[in-house]
């Protein structure tokens, strides 16, 4: 009587027991023997797997199911892409029909709605162009105004320049006069000190009993001559100082007059700059208002274009079903047919994988 093969469960238990006991046996067995027993156990497990048809079928079904799921997901992604492509072609078909003035009862409502939206968009486009033209005109006006203010300021600056040059020249001359007055005062003091020293020297000569009268006379004459020269220098300086003070006072009066004239020009420049700031603020407010109008017109144009897209798609879908014969639409029909064929094939493949 033939021996029945052990069941898969008992074989796996035996293999697991063998794997658990292998480390313990390895402590008392040679190293090579441990690996030999391990290989034998693996061969037994492989043999059991090959003998058990049910296990092989279940493993194959599991792996095959995973492959089918992955393939189905890829096919569904392709199907979604083709469906989106079909919607794009419908939109293209609707746009082409609208641009070619295709008329049919099946698309009359869509054409009427598109005509209303296109008329509204045309109005906003005209508004946009008018606003854009006004913004450009404002830019030109602002440049002209800014140029006019620059000319006015330049005129005042040119008129002010001679007085500023005079003020700088007088300030430099006043500085020279003050230096001269200070130098004269210092020289007078120094010269007076020298005269006092000569006086002391003269008294010393007169009181010197060792000098003869002739020597005293000669020495005193020289001292008197030096003193006379120094006194003349002091007199000249004293006469010069009032003249310098008069010139300084005259320079200060003329400098005050120049400052007053310069301040007149500065005041006019400030008035022009204030007027320029007011004009600039007014320009900026008006420009911002026109920019907001332009933005509103742009937003509405974009919104109308967005509203027209689904209508084009709906029109294309209806035309795809009606298949109105026109040469300009035939190419799009052909593309839609190719997409429909791909969709059918993908759907059949997905259904086959269920």
Report the distance separating Cα 338 and Cα 346, nearest Å. 12
Whether 106 and 122 have beta carbons less than 8 Å apart is answered as no
CB atoms within 10 A of CB 317: 20
Mean pLDDT on 174-195: 86
Please, which residues have CB within 8 angstroms of residue 69's CB and are 6 or more apart in sequence?
Answer: none
pLDDT at 29: 61
Whether 40 and 22 have beta carbons less than 8 Å apart is answered as no
Mean pLDDT on 227-236: 84
Q: Is the pLDDT of residue 241 over 90?
A: no
Residue, of 74 and 278, whose pLDDT is higher: 278
Mean pLDDT on 126-145: 94
pLDDT at 21: 42
pLDDT at 28: 54
Q: Is the pLDDT of residue 15 over 60?
A: no
| CA 83 to centroid of chain Cα atoms | 42
Q: Is the pLDDT of residue 108 over 60?
A: yes
Q: Is the pLDDT of residue 7 over 50?
A: no
Residue, of 185 and 153, whose pLDDT is higher: 153
Mean pLDDT on 236-248: 84
Whether 229 and 237 have beta carbons less than 8 Å apart is answered as no
Whether 329 and 101 have beta carbons less than 8 Å apart is answered as no
Q: Is the pTM of this model over 0.85?
A: no
Q: Is the pLDDT of residue 72 over 60?
A: yes
Per-residue pLDDT reduced to its tens digit, 85-100 = 999 999 999 998 888 8
For the chain, the average pLDDT equals 83
* Reported confidence tier of residue 64, pLDDT bands at 50, 70, 90: low
Q: Is the pLDDT of residue 169 over 60?
A: yes
* Reported confidence tier of residue 65, pLDDT bands at 50, 70, 90: low
HEC profile for the chain? CCCCCCCHHHHHHHHHHHHHHHHHHHHHCCHHHHHHHHHHHHHHHHHHHHHCHHHHHHHHHHHHHHHHHHHHHHHHHHHHHHHHHHHHHHHHHHHHHHHCCCCCHHHHHHHHHHHHHHHHHHHHHHHHHHHHHHHHHHHHHHHHHHHHHHHHHHHHHHHHHHHHHHHHHHHHHHHHHHHHHHHHHHHHHHHHHHHHHHHHHHHHHHCCCCCCHHHHHHHHHHHHHHHHHHHHHHHHHHHHHHHHHHHHHHHHHHHHHHHHHHHHHHHHHHHHHHHHHHHHHHHHHHHHHHHHHHHHHHHHHHHHHHHHHHHHHHHHHHHHHHCCCCHHHHHHHHHHHHHHHHHHHHHHHHHHCC
């Amino acid at each position: 009587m033939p021996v029945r093969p052990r069941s898969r469960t008992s074989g796996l238990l035996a293999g697991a027991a063998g794997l658990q006991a292998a480390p313990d046996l390895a402590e008392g067995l040679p190293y090579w023997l441990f690996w030999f027993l391990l290989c034998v156990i693996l061969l037994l497990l492989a043999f059991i797997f090959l003998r058990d048809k049910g296990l092989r079928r279940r493993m194959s079904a599991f792996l095959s199911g995973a492959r089918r799921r992955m393939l189905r997901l890829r096919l569904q992604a392709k199907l979604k892409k083709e469906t989106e492509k079909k919607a794009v072609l419908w939109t293209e078909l609707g746009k082409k029909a609208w641009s070619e003035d295709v008329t049919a009862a099946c698309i009359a409502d869509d054409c009427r709605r598109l005509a209303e939206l296109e008329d509204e968009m045309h109005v906003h486009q005209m508004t946009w162009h008018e606003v854009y033209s006004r913004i450009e005109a404002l830019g030109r006006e602002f440049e002209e105004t800014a140029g006019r203010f620059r000319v006015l300021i330049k005129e005042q600056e040119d008129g002010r320049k001679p007085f500023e040059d005079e003020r700088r020249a007088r300030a430099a001359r006043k500085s020279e006069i003050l230096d001269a007055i200070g130098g004269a005062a210092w020289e007078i003091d120094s010269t007076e000190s020298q005269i006092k020293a000569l006086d002391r020297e003269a008294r010393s000569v007169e009181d010197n009993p060792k000098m003869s009268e002739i020597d005293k006379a000669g020495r005193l004459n020289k001292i008197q001559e030096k003193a006379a020269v120094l006194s003349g220098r002091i007199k000249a300086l004293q006469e010069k100082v009032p003249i310098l003070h008069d010139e300084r006072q005259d320079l200060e009066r003329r400098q005050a007059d120049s400052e007053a004239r310069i301040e007149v020009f500065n005041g006019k420049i400030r008035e022009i700059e204030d007027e320029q700031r007011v004009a600039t603020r007014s320009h900026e407010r008006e420009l911002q208002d026109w920019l907001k109008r332009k933005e509103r017109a742009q937003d509405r144009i974009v919104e109308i274009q967005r509203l027209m897209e689904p209508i084009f798609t709906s029109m294309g879908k209806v035309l795809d079903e009606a298949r109105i014969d026109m040469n300009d639409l035939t190419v799009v029909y052909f593309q839609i047919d190719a997409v429909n064929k791909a969709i059918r094939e993908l759907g059949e493949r997905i259904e086959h994988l269920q």
